[in-house]
Structures are given as structure tokens and as C-alpha cells.
């Protein structure tokens, strides 16, 4: 059953509808404010398997409590855009999710301060700004859980981990995919503690972590030690807007040796690259298929075996003044992105570098200086299968 944006005056109709279908198994409620506060009709739906509540002005306490009491649920989603202090769920509501032993999928998306999550008499868990954090059970306390998406701008505590958002799912082949926003992580957090709290406890090879994304991380190399058991099956690793203590070069020297199966590495807008050079931990990698080094202030691209098997190389928004000659080693490259680099593409680049990249099919040159029409004509002549994309400028 779907109930979408009912007016407050229709609350009796909602109650009547829920009473009329006591064996309901799926329910979606999307409204500005969920009324009435008496949630007995919802709590009576003991056969409910899937419940999705989205309230733009907050959940009534009794409604939220009723949702957590439905122990037959396998999927639960609680989301709201705006809320106020007087209609927030009661303290301890979210930690009581452990009662839902059949829960396979959990979504909690909050944009404003949740209630004091501590038990009666305990101090609330506060972020650095003194705002109460959302306290949730760790993944291991929800034994049937397979998919998790939680987000709260003031911060979340799961077990011993503190973060801003977490998303865990399994791909179509059953492999684990984890995304963590660590904007609210404290200075004592370690990657091992974060993974222990946000990954299922299963050790089955089919549920091993294959993809990890970290956003807004400040984790140092020391805080990433002791994680090899979680990361040894990783094939994809992404770091976005990360500013690690000690710098990115030092962090990668600790992290990348733990990833023997890595095939895709994405670094986007991270700080701490030494002297504008690609970290040696990257150039020593073998077997990479996709490499993104975006907005890292790189000035050069060294040769190395890490280029040999690449099919995608993203070098956007770096400080290259000329086309790196090392690209001649990327003979399997199919996509090359050079957008927003301060380089000028000339005939020499087309004849000595690009013409030898026979597998190249997509070349992105947005906001680059070229010497038209000769350069583009030469590329079209030597590589008729190549598609050049972007708005380019005449270097004259």
C-alpha cells in the first residue's frame, strides 16, 4: 500500500485504511507530517515486512516507536527532510533496532538533530560542536542485515566508529560495497574500528569487501594499520576530498600494499601529494585497469608498469604543462581525460604520444588549449575511431 502526502485532516482515513488491511505486508507513507500520534493502527500490522516512512516535518514519537516494534520487518526506511525538537523520536529508539532480528535492509536519512540517543541517566554522545549524534547498533548487532544506508549531518556513532554517512550493499554478484563519509570522525578513529562497525561479521568469501570509498577522511597512515584481513579482496578503492594526517603519499604507502587484487584506484581532490609527483606506491602497482588522479596538483606523470594495463586514466584538473611522455606506455588505454589542465596540445603531442595509443577511443580535452585545425585533423586522420570531447581553445 502507498499513502502519499495525505493532508492532516485525512488522518482518520489513514487509520481506517490501516485497520482495513491487518495482513498488509508492504507500506509506504510519504507525507509532510505523520499523524495521528496514536500509532496503534501501525503497530497492529504484525505481518508487515517492508515499511518506508518519509516525513518532511518529522516523525511522531509513537509512530517511530511503532515502526521499531514490528519484529517481522525485513526492510525499514525512516527518512525526513526537516524536523523540530518537539517531534523527534524518544531516546534509545534507534539502538532498539536490535529487536528486528529479520531485518535485511535498513535506511535512516536525517538532516536535523535526532533525540538524545543515550539511555536514561547517561550522557549523550556529542560531536565536536556539542550536538547530539545519532547512535546506532553496529552491523554485527543486526545479524540478518545485508544492506545499510544511514546519513546524519551532525554525525553517527556505530559501535566504536564515528562518521557522517555509511552505505553498505552487495553488488549483483554478491560482493561487498562500502562507502563511508568520515567528516564527523574523531581523531582517535581507526580504519579497523570503522570497518568492524560497518561491515557484516560474515567471513564467507562471497561476502568479502570488494569496493571501498572514503570521503572527507583525515585518517593517517598509522590509523590504517591492521586492516589487511578486511582489505585483501578489495578490487576498487576510492578516496574523495581526503586530507590525511601526514599527507596522501604517506597514507598510500601504508594502504596500497594491503590491496593485492586492486584493479581500480580513484583519488579525487585529496591533499598531501609530495612535490606534485605521483606517489611511488601507485607507480609500483601492477594489474590496474582504471586510475583516477583528479585535482591532485600533479605536475608530472612518471613511466612505470602501472600504466601498462590501464583502460581508463583520469588526469583532470592537474597542473600538467605538457602532455606526459609516459602516456606512450599506456598502450591499452581506451579513455583518457585531460580536462582543465593548463597544457597546450600541439602537433608534437599528436605525432609522438597520441598516435601510438591505438586502443584509445575517448579523449576528453575540455578547457584545453590546442592549435586547430591541424591537431584535431591529425588525430582524426591517424585514429578514425577516436572521439574527441570538450570545448577547446585556440592557443593563439
pLDDT tens digits, one per residue of 287-313 = 999 999 999 999 999 999 999 999 999
Q: Is the confidence at residue 122, as pLDDT, over 90?
A: no
Identify whether 108 is part of a domain: yes
Domain that holds residue 46: 1-153
Mean pLDDT for the stretch of residues 341-360: 88
Digit-coded pLDDT (tens) for 217-233 = 999 999 999 999 899 99
What pLDDT is attached to residue 396?
46
Whether residue 87 is predicted with pLDDT greater than 50 in this model: the reply is: no
Q: pLDDT tier at 370 (50, 70, 90 boundaries)? A: confident
Residue 175 has pLDDT above 50, yes or no: yes
Average pLDDT over residues 380-393: 85
Quick one: pLDDT at residue 37? 53
pLDDT at position 120 is 42
pLDDT grade, residue 376 (50/70/90)?
Answer: confident
* Domains: count for the chain: 1
219 part of a folded domain:
no
pLDDT for position 125: 67
Tell whether 105 is covered by a domain: yes
According to the model, what pLDDT value does residue 287 have?
95
Mean pLDDT of the chain, nearest integer: 84
Confidence of residue 86 (pLDDT cuts 50, 70, 90): very low
pLDDT band at 204 (very low <50, low <70, confident <90, very high): low
CA-CA distance, 107 to 28, in Å (whole number)? 13
Query: Quick one: pLDDT band at residue 150, thresholds 50, 70, 90?
Result: very high
User: What's the pLDDT score for residue 281?
Assistant: 95
The CATH number of residue 49's host domain is 3.80.10
Residue 20 has pLDDT above 50, yes or no: yes
Q: What percent of the chain has pLDDT over 90?
A: 48
Range of weakest confidence among 110-119, 166-175, 311-320? 110-119
Let me know if residue 380 belongs to a domain: no
- Classify residue 132: in a domain, yes or no: yes
Q: Is the pLDDT of residue 117 over 60?
A: no
Q: What is the pLDDT of residue 378?
A: 83
Note whether residue 115 is domain-resident: yes
Asked if residue 4 has pLDDT above 70, the reply is no
- Mean pLDDT, residues 193-199: 91
Q: What is the pLDDT of residue 126?
A: 61
pLDDT level of residue 57 (50, 70, 90 thresholds): low
Contacts for 58 with CB less than 8 Å, ≥ 6 apart: 33, 80, 82, 83, 84, 87, 88
Amino acid at each position: 500500500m502507498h499513502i502519499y502526502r495525505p493532508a492532516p485532516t485525512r488522518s482518520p482515513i489513514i487509520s481506517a485504511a490501516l485497520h482495513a488491511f491487518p495482513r498488509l505486508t508492504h507500506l509506504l507513507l510519504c507525507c509532510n507530517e505523520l499523524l495521528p500520534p496514536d500509532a496503534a493502527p501501525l503497530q497492529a500490522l504484525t505481518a508487515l515486512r517492508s515499511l518506508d516512512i518519509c516525513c518532511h516535518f518529522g516523525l511522531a514519537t509513537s509512530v517511530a516507536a511503532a515502526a521499531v516494534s514490528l519484529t517481522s520487518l525485513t526492510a525499514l526506511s525512516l527518512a525526513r527532510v526537516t524536523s523540530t525538537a518537539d517531534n523527534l523520536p524518544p531516546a534509545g529508539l534507534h539502538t532498539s533496532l536490535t529487536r528486528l532480528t529479520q531485518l535485511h535492509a535498513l535506511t535512516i536519512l536525517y538532516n536535523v538533530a535526532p533525540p538524545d540517543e543515550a539511555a536514561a541517566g547517561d550522557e549523550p554522545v556529542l560531536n565536536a560542536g556539542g550536538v547530539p549524534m545519532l547512535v546506532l547498533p553496529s552491523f554485527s548487532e543486526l545479524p540478518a542485515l545485508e544492506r545499510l544506508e544511514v546519513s546524519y549531518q551532525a554525525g553517527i556513532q556505530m559501535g566504536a566508529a564515528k562518521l557522517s554517512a555509511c552505505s553498505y550493499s552487495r553488488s549483483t554478484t554478491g560482493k561487498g560495497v562500502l562507502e563511508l563519509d568520515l567528516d564527523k570522525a574523531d581523531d582517535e578513529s581507526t580504519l579497523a574500528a570503522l570497518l568492524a562497525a560497518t561491515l557484516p561479521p560474515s567471513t564467507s568469501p562471497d561476502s568479502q569487501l570488494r569496493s571501498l570509498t572514503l570521503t572527507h577522511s583525515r585518517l593517517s597512515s598509522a590509523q590504517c594499520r591492521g586492516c589487511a584481513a578486511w582489505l585483501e579482496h578489495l578490487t576498487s578503492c576510492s578516496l574523495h576530498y581526503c586530507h590525511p594526517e601526514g599527507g596522501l603519499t604517506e597514507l598510500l604507502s601504508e594502504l596500497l600494499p594491503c590491496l593485492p587484487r586492486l584493479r581500480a584506484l580513484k583519488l579525487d581532490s585529496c591533499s598531501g601529494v609530495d612535490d606534485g609527483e605521483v606517489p611511488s606506491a601507485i607507480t609500483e602497482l601492477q594489474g590496474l585497469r582504471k586510475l583516477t588522479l583528479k585535482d591532485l596538483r600533479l605536475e608530472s606523470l612518471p613511466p612505470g608498469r602501472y600504466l601498462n594495463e590501464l583502460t581508463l586514466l583520469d588526469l583532470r584538473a592537474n597542473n600538467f604543462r605538457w602532455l606526459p611522455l609516459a602516456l606512450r606506455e599506456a598502450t591499452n588505454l581506451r579513455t583518457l581525460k585531460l580536462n582543465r589542465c593548463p597544457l597546450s596540445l600541439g602537433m608534437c603531442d599528436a605525432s609522438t604520444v597520441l598516435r601510438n595509443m591505438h586502443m584509445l577511443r575517448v579523449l576528453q580535452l575540455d578547457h584545453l588549449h590546442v592549435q586547430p585545425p591541424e591537431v584535431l585533423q591529425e588525430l582524426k586522420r591517424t585514429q578514425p575511431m577516436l572521439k574527441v570531447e570538450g570545448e577547446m581553445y585556440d592557443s593563439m
